[in-house]
Structure 1
Amino acid sequence: MPVRIGQSYVSEAAAEYAKARQKERAEADAAQEKGGIFSELQGKFSGMKFSVGTNPFSGVGTNNVSISPKILKQMEKDPEKRLEYEALLYDVSNTDLVQGRNLQSAGWIIDDNGGLRAWSVGVSDNRNQSSVKRSDKKNWWQELLEKQSKKNKNRSKGSLKALQEKIEEKKKAMASELKDIPYLPADQRAPKRTADSHVTDILRENAEKIMQIPYNGNPMLAKAYLQNTKASGTSQAFKNIDELSDYLRDNYQVVSGGMTSISSKYLKKCLTDEDSRNRLFDILRAADESYASHKDEVGFQGMNVRVDENGEVTTESSKSTVTVNEGKRSRQIAAAATQKDMQAVIALLEQDLQEVEDGYKQNKCDEAEVEKVKRLLASAKQRMGTLPDREPTQEEEAIMSINMLI
């Protein structure tokens, strides 16, 4: 459900993400002095390629974000503006502009007035732009993506019709295979249950098998069909909380991976209230998608999803990175005047190497960070052979002490 922050409507997950970052403001202010808000955003949204400006069709790949310098300045001066735009960027980073289209490049633009635009370049150099008013309560990303795909509307309708025909064929085939399954006694099923509705229930329980049909190469059409079936047909029910919990573990990675805590009171409500149950499924589906998009990012350590007794969701993700100050270590190598000085630097680099190798195993850094330390260590060892084996002078010792500290 969209929530309002400032003049923008964003997703609940985005709002929770931005609010959680308020606790880190003291550390962020220190980081600002080194690189400003722009560097801070690059660190927080490592999967995006940021640039300053408002020009469309600038950048390669499909994860470009251009931000007006006026907006960046507002974010630096106004904590509420930073909260608003960090929440917006969270939604942007989790919105797929491609959606099965064959694009050379695509990206987002946050204009001088805070408006949001999207652009894309197709393989035939077809160029498209769209914009939305983020103050509208309707999910802005849905509106924008609808505009982006408007040209393919008729083709999608035709594909969906073909999909429905294939689904009907599959239903008939599975109905034939399942004809020997006994029916529930009349007093154990809903009134006016028919053979067709019984088979439909079985088909829905086997939705994963149905989704394997190629559907003209577009699995999104299968998802759309199942969503329509869900809206107009029968809904899955569960006998008790244990059965519902088993279903959640089997179908949602954040649940099976121990990243989710759900109020038992809300689970009990889901047994009898279809809207609550569908809301829970939507929450977990979105959490799975978020996890899938971030789990391979360097530094990502996991996420936690909490659903309270009212169905309100809180999502937190943790990130931890290990880096080595290349500039500092390079200065220390250059300042070493004797073999004794260089031995001290080499000892620090060997410790750095152990830390980044451990960090690489824990996804706290990438292979490039490990190679960087190895290059520094090799450089230090090579230079050590050219240094005198004596005690440093008082001046040399003072210079080395300064470089070990700063």
Structure 2
Amino acid sequence: MGSRSNPEAVEAHRLDDFARAAASVLPPEVWDFLAGGSGAETTLDANRSALDRIFLVPRVLRDVAGCETDATLLGRPVRMPVAVAPVAYQRLVHPEGEAAAARAAKSAGVPFIASTLSSVPVEELTALGGSVWFQLYWQRDEVHSWDLVRRAEDAGCEALVLTVDVPWMGRRLRDVRNRFALPDEVRAAHLTTGPTAHERTRDGSAVAVHTGRTFSAAVTWSTLDELRRRTRLPLVLKGVLAPEDALRAAESGVDAVVVSNHGGRQLDGALPSVDALPEIARSVPDHCEVLFDSGVRSGTDVLKALALGARGVLVGRPLIWGLAAAGEAGAARVLDLLAVELRDALGLSGCRDVADARHLRTVCGSPRGR
């Protein structure tokens, strides 16, 4: 599925250009699976509107001749404060799936986060030599959850990312209308027993049915405490919007929280992630890093998140657009373009480096086009 053979055929000057290219090569139901949100997609749209309302106050007469995007995430150096967000079933859009995306992340010098629902085993991804984090959906079968933790550790993953906003999948109406199911050749490489997402249902999404039967809705703070005790990996909590939850996570010993509404794919009507970011950044102690995702589409968006208190951002859909449009080269081009845009935004705002960005002022205005 997907993927043009010639990456030069995709003329891209902004990340959104890859969205148009991907939509032109993917089957409509696959595009809907990637692009859609839950319910009326209110939160999906609000993520972008909220970012568009934020304006930066640039500083002048700063020496930015040596402006750099280098940073650290979880104590490790990265070429820019970006990680590739976990996205399920990437072989839906390209035969190499997560392997091609992970190679692109390695080339860009940023971490790749492998999903529990990856269509390529984590061992194959870490063998590529880049920085790989493992995203964990807690399973109904707790033994299987601990097996996944050990598997990530044994594979050489550098962090564990527990997603906490999916007790079950939000009602993604595009998938319901399409009666979406996975093709036979695309499977969850880490879930080799039990139900699958390949049988079409009369009135819903096979993927939603599968996750409902597989994921645990009983994950609690005690689960997190036990996980913190039993894993040696840095622990990241993904899917936090309430400052109280972020503070409790930090007190529980997590190394980072990801301020995220799951890209508008879970609770429709949830707060835009960027609106939750500043208060969470003020609430947690310095030892707990604050990361951000949901709606990032440019290097300027990355800079806005940094100015509002994030240590870094996760970028998901744009990587998949690039992968669908032009395979590994397309995914690499997305990250290259993001780095160019971030350096441009840093320098033009008077920032010599990523640390300077945290001192930028922001103001809230009207969304574009309003």
TM-score bracket for the superposition, by shorter chain length: under 0.3
Larger Rg: 1
Whose helix proportion is higher, 1 or 2?
Answer: 1
Q: Which has the higher contact order (CA 8 A, sep 6+)?
A: 2
